[in-house]
Amino acid sequence: MNTWDPFGLPVDGDAILAFRAWRLVWDNVEGAPRLAPTTPRPSWPPKAAPAATCSGSHTRLYMVFDPTATPHRSPDAGCTCGWHAVRDPSTLVRPGGPAAVIGQVSLWGRVIEHAKGWRAEFAYPARLRLVCSRCARTGRWPAEPATVAHRGAELVPACAAHAPLELDPGTDGEPARQIQAALLDAYAVELLPVEALPSDDAVDVVTRVRRAFER
């Protein structure tokens, strides 16, 4: 485990270091890139670690057995709420997944362990790396992006081979290294070493089959 306390954030003891995938969005107000969950939810605020809360939209197993259950501190053992992260980055590869950034995240506070990872009360990125979205969802590692396309507020990193599929005709996008540097600066974190990315050997059969039908 890793002791982590930048910005004076409230870390309870040692933080657990795990892996997450994020979407990448552009903040027009700040003029900078921001991390966003792979589900349609608000972006992660830089240099802050708000406590996880239960939105009520999760499946709550405890309510099946106890309809009188009341709101709870997140995460809860009978719920799916909390900041999610996995111990093995290869499990982040999902066919059709929207990942644009892969990184390690520090977890602390109340933490519940599961077979593949954890749910935590507090979380903050520790190391980040942009990845080509198309390469990531088909397990083509290291998924090194060359450019970043703008799709409205969404930023889509693409390698040289996939850039023509993401960029509008006649546009070049923005250099991936420039956007990555701005992201690391915004969250005050380090670059995730390429050695921490999944290996091609870890890709499952479904993902390998998908490669045959997707460039």
More confident residue, 47 or 39: 47
What's the pLDDT at 176?
Answer: 97
Percent of the chain residues topping a pLDDT of 90: 47
| Pairing of β 147-151 and β 83-86 | unpaired
DSSP string for the chain: -B---GGG----SSBEEEEEEEEEEEETTTTEEEEE-SSS-PPPPTT--PPP---S-S--HHHHH-TT----PSS-TTS--SEEEES-GGGG--TT----EEEEEEEEEEEEE-SSEEEEEEEEEEEEEE--HHHHHTT-TT---SEEEEETTEEEEE-TTTHHHHSPTT---EEHHHHHHHHHHHHT-EEPPGGGSPPGGG--HHHHHHHTT--
pLDDT of 63 over the 70 cut:
no
Residue pair 179/149 in contact by the 8 Å Cβ criterion: no
Q: Determine the average pLDDT of the residues in 136-146.
A: 89
70-74, 107-111, 149-153: least confidently modelled range: 70-74
Write the pLDDT tens digit of every residue in 128-139.
999 999 998 888
What's the pLDDT at 95?
Answer: 59
What's the pLDDT at 80?
Answer: 82
Task: For residues 107 and 190, give the distance between their C-alpha atoms in angstroms, rounded to a whole number.
Answer: 17
Beta-bridge partner residues of 32: 27
1-5, 93-97, 136-140, 149-153: least confidently modelled range: 1-5
Q: Read off the pLDDT band of 2 (50, 70, 90).
A: very low
Average pLDDT of every residue of the chain:
82
